[in-house]
Amino acid sequence: MDTAVDDRMLSTGLERQALDHVWIHSANWNDLVTGGQLKVIDHAEGSYLYDIKGRRYFDALSGLYVVNAGHGRREIAEAIGTQAAKLAYVSSATMTNKPAVLLADKLAALTPGDLNRIFFCSGGSEAVESAMKIAKQIQALRGFTDRRKIIARKGGYHGATFGAMSVSFGRNADYFAPFMEGVSFIASPNRYRNEFGIEGEAGDLRCAEVLEEEILAQGPQTVAAFIAEPVSAANGTHVPSAAYWQKIREICSRHGVLLIVDEVICGFGRLGTMFATEQFGIVPDLMTMAKGLTSGYVPMGAVAVSDAAYEVFKGTDHALAHLLTFGGQAVAAAAALANIAIMEREDLPASCRRIGATLERLLAPLAAHPTVGDIRGRGALWVLDLVQDKTTKEGFGKGAAAQKHPYIRRLSALLDERGVLTRLMGTIQLVPPLVATDAELAEVVKAIDESLSIAEQEFQFR
Ligand code: PLP
């Protein structure tokens, strides 16, 4: 097979260099080279990206659920420049710096309850790795040296590094097994295809009860922590009831299991409050965050730990047995502070609630499409669940397999032609920046509506 890149397919030298040297994480060779799907983005403003050929795209996934404050924020760029010129880096092992202190103080104030101790890192996977290690060390320092197991949820996603991957569903055993030991998975709330066939809130609550059953089956004295996203985007954006989360909290507390809530996607306004846990009325023992923390202007992640959990380190000479070179990097902290200042000044969580109401109204008529089985979401995190048959709810395959289905490929191409960038797997995801206007959203929903109509007609869905 000839795998050479044909110059005639490339409009600029930059594209050639991209195809020759950049490893774009999840794109395959054929799509990029022969399918012409390479996009080299040049600049961005608000909700829009512009590629090097001058084409404009609506950023319907906020990058990768990241750019909550929108693109082109000079204020964040200036904070980054000023801090880099003053102080970029000091050792994270033995000292800290002014922006990191101010950011930790701010996050302690913004996060619910007694989440007052902030461990900084560089992204979501690192936050999850760190949270699991912190949880295990806390259990050991409390005297529970056998509490090493982690329970996670089917369909959840917590990152790509070995520990985070091990607690994520869809981890690829063919390439990466063996995984971290002592991980088991329980059902995740799903009101469209509930694992137990139970509808509504009762279905959510059954998914909480199975946590207790799993803890008892594993032996409570062996379980360190339970980890889950408030609403799992990876698992199809099913918003559970507050009662689900309150039951989970109760079960964890009753059995001495630390609750890690992964707010990497939901945090920083994505669901209409600064953190999603606020809406569910719970305080986790550890909370992970990344993505919207800096809105992507520089990489950063963090773990917020409760006072109660941190207690075992207080007044002792125990240090955390975990160190990351870039923890609390000064430029990243300055970017996060500037980003949070914008979120507060412009009340982006409120803007997100407006987006939620607009999307609910605009998307409702799309339920009439023969391939739209369900429309659900909250705030600025929505999906249209695509099905081949509304009665059986049969989809187009899971994850990457769905991306290869000819109907999904066609739908992707139609959206791309209309300048809408999103991710299509078993669902169409609609996750706009929190600055998206109602007029922009109306244009995007119209593009989705048109694309569905064309593809459905071509594939004879009716
Ligand atoms: N946790 C959640 C809930 C995520 O969605 C992701 C990434 O999408 C991660 C963790 C991993 O974050 P990162 O890709 O920054 O390592």
**Does residue 122 form part of some domain?**
yes
Ligand 1 atom with least separation from CA of 290: 15
Among 301, 318, 345, the domain boundary falls at: 345
Q: Which pLDDT band holds residue 1 (cuts at 50, 70, 90)?
A: very low
**Does residue 53 form part of some domain?**
yes
Residues 406 and 420 in one domain: yes
Q: What pLDDT score was predicted for residue 4?
A: 55
Residues 22 and 44 in one domain: yes
Q: What pLDDT score was predicted for residue 304?
A: 99
343 pLDDT above the threshold of 50: yes
**Does residue 3 form part of some domain?**
no
CATH of the domain at 158: 3.40.640.10
Residues 353 and 297 in one domain: no
**158 alpha carbon – ligand 1 mean position (Å):** 5
7 pLDDT above the threshold of 70: no
pTM of the full predicted structure?
0.97
* pLDDT per residue as tens digits for the range 187-207: 999 999 999 999 999 999 999
Residues 163 and 37 in one domain: no
**64 alpha carbon – ligand 1 mean position (Å):** 9
Residues 146 and 217 in one domain: yes
Average pLDDT over residues 116-141: 98
**450 alpha carbon – ligand 1 mean position (Å):** 31
Among 75-84, 97-106, 373-382, 399-408, whose mean pLDDT is lowest?
399-408
Residues 329 and 355 in one domain: no
Ligand 1 atom with least separation from CA of 125: 16
Ligand 1 atom with least separation from CA of 299: 15
Residues 159 and 210 in one domain: yes
Per the structure, the count of domains in the chain is: 2
Ligand 1 atom with least separation from CA of 301: 15
Among 345, 364, 384, the domain boundary falls at: 345
Residues 83 and 65 in one domain: no
Residues 251 and 385 in one domain: no
Q: What pLDDT score was predicted for residue 12?
A: 72
**Does residue 1 form part of some domain?**
no
Cα–Cα distance, 150 to 132 (Å, whole number): 8
- Of 70, 42, 47, residue with least CA distance to 60: 47
Q: What pLDDT score was predicted for residue 3?
A: 56
**237 alpha carbon – ligand 1 mean position (Å):** 15
**Does residue 2 form part of some domain?**
no
Q: Which residues does a 6 A CB cutoff place in the pocket of ligand 1?
A: 123-125, 128, 157-159, 229, 262, 264-265, 290
Q: Please give the mean pLDDT across all residues of the chain.
A: 96
* pLDDT per residue as tens digits for the range 430-460: 999 999 999 999 999 999 999 999 999 999 9
Q: What pLDDT score was predicted for residue 5?
A: 55
Ligand 1 atom with least separation from CA of 161: 16
Residues 340 and 351 in one domain: no
**Does residue 8 form part of some domain?**
no
Pocket test residue of 61, 122, 128 for ligand 1, highest count of atoms within 8 A of CB = 128
Among 308, 323, 345, the domain boundary falls at: 345
145 pLDDT above the threshold of 70: yes
Q: Look at ligand 1, atom 1, and give the residue with the nearest C-alpha.
A: 158
Q: Look at ligand 1, atom 10, and give the residue with the nearest C-alpha.
A: 158
Residues 320 and 394 in one domain: no
85 pLDDT above the threshold of 50: yes
**Does residue 5 form part of some domain?**
no
Average pLDDT over residues 267-273: 98
| Domain around 407 | 13-71+347-458
Cα–Cα distance, 73 to 96 (Å, whole number): 27
Residues 380 and 367 in one domain: yes
Q: Report the percent of the chain where pLDDT is more than 70.
A: 98
**Does residue 7 form part of some domain?**
no
CATH of the domain at 63: 3.90.1150.10
Q: Look at ligand 1, atom 4, and give the residue with the nearest C-alpha.
A: 158
Q: What pLDDT score was predicted for residue 11?
A: 61
